[in-house]
């Protein structure tokens, strides 16, 4: 194998190494943005096996249903006629001023008025709601509904709420999510690490192959494309797996 061909393979390996180092840094810094909803797929039962763990309901018109589910075997059902009902889920620690994305998947039909997916912020001055409206419609095939909100200043806690307000319909909710939205910053931090590793790789490869190639300066750019591709693919895969977990 020619020296420059060997350099290409080394760059491929360095790209993978850079991805692992970048994701390791994000883990250590707590910057992998995971789903903060506890028991988000509503599969885990509470102590009495009467409902999903970390969720509570208003009782009227609500059911921890095994009829339909997007993942697993359970979902949250609200079946009401001119009535109000709700499911309330617990969410992990949040911080005021940060931006969060809230979403859920829904199946069924809203016949009258509105259902809502809500993030309820708790602050020192009281509670503040940000709503995603689920208007009259046929929600076929588990439709994704969501929006992005900024947590009020001073907010330390929040809940996710799936509700119907003076409404009629039969709607199922599953796979709920509250996630801090900083993937861009995480990507930029990881890219900085990738650049640093690339610079280090240049000096490593130069010391190893500098005397074996006709133009040593080519080592600077040789394999840059495969390096970026390897880093990007592996980083995206690792980050996605960790965030989903």
Q: Is the pLDDT of residue 29 over 70?
A: no
**How high is the mean pLDDT of the chain?**
91
Q: How confident is the model at residue 244 (pLDDT cuts 50, 70, 90)?
A: low
Q: Which two tokens stand for residue 198?
A: 């690339």
User: Long-range contacts made by residues 214-222, C-beta under 8 angstroms, separation at least 24?
Assistant: 218/4, 219/4, 219/7, 222/4, 222/7, 222/8, 222/11
144: left (phi over 0), alpha (psi -120 to 50) or beta: beta
Contact 201, 10 (CB under 8 A): yes
Question: What is the per-residue pLDDT across 89-148, written as a single tens digit (0 to 9) for each?
Answer: 999 988 888 889 999 999 999 999 999 999 999 998 899 999 999 999 999 999 999 999
Q: Is the pLDDT of residue 183 over 70?
A: no
Give the separation between CA 121 and CA 140, rounded to whole angstroms: 30
Give the separation between CA 109 and CA 138, rounded to whole angstroms: 5
Question: What is the per-residue pLDDT across 44-102, written as a single tens digit (0 to 9) for each?
Answer: 999 989 999 999 999 999 999 999 999 999 999 999 999 999 999 999 988 888 889 99
Q: Which two tokens stand for residue 43?
A: 């599969």
The pLDDT value given to residue 31: 63
Angle at the Cα of 132 from the Cα atoms of 60 and 150, rounded to 5 degrees: 125
How does DSSP classify residue 52? B
Q: Determine the average pLDDT of the residues in 180-184.
A: 68
- Rounded to two decimals, what is the model's pTM? 0.70
172: left (phi over 0), alpha (psi -120 to 50) or beta: beta
Contact 154, 103 (CB under 8 A): no
Which three-class secondary structure state does DSSP give residue 175? strand
Question: What is the per-residue pLDDT across 187-238, written as a single tens digit (0 to 9) for each?
Answer: 667 888 999 999 999 999 888 887 777 777 788 888 899 999 999 999 889 8
The pLDDT value given to residue 198: 94
Distance between alpha carbon 22 and the CA centroid of its chain, in Å? 18
Given the candidates 2.60.120.260, 3.40.50.1000, 3.40.50.2300, 3.30.43.10, the CATH classification of the domain at 55-180 is 2.60.120.260
Q: How many residues does the chain have?
A: 245
The pLDDT value given to residue 245: 56
Intervals of CATH 2.60.120.260 along the chain = 55-180
φ, ψ of residue 91 to 5 degrees: the values are -125, 145
Give the separation between CA 212 and CA 219, rounded to whole angstroms: 11
Q: Which two tokens stand for residue 217?
A: 């300066």
Q: Give the other-Cβ count within 10 Å of 174's Cβ.
A: 24
Question: What is the per-residue pLDDT across 8-22, written as a single tens digit (0 to 9) for each?
Answer: 899 999 999 999 998
C-alpha distances in angstroms, 6 versus 14, 19, 209?
12, 20, 9
The pLDDT value given to residue 217: 78
C-alpha distances in angstroms, 75 versus 39, 50, 173?
11, 13, 6
Q: Is the pLDDT of residue 185 over 70?
A: no
Q: Is the pLDDT of residue 184 over 60?
A: no
Give the separation between CA 244 and CA 83, rounded to whole angstroms: 35
């Amino acid at each position: 194998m020619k020296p420059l061909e060997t350099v290409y393979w080394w760059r491929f390996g360095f790209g993978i190494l850079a991805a692992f180092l970048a994701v390791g840094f994000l883990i250590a810094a707590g910057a992998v943005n995971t789903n903060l909803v506890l028991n988000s797929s509503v599969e885990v039962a509470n102590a009495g096996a009467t409902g999903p763990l970390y969720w509570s309901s208003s009782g009227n018109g609500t059911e921890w249903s095994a009829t339909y589910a997007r993942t697993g075997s359970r979902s949250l059902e609200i079946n009401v006629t001119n009535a109000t009902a709700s499911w309330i889920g617990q969410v992990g620690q949040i911080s005021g001023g940060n931006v969060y994305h809230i979403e859920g998947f829904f199946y069924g039909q809203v016949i009258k008025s509105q259902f809502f997916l809500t993030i309820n912020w708790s602050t020192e001055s009281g509670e503040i709601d940000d709503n995603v409206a689920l208007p009259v419609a046929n929600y076929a095939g588990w439709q994704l509904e969501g929006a992005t909100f900024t947590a009020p200043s001073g907010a330390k806690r929040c809940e996710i709420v799936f509700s119907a307000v003076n409404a009629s319909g039969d709607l199922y909710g599953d796979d709920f999510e509250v996630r801090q939205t900083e993937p861009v910053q995480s990507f930029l931090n990881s890219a900085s690490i990738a650049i640093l590793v690339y610079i280090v790789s240049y000096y490593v490869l130069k010391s190893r192959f500098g005397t074996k190639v006709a133009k040593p300066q080519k080592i600077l750019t040789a394999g840059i494309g495969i390096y970026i591709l390897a880093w990007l693919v592996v980083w995206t895969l690792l980050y996605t797996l960790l965030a989903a977990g």
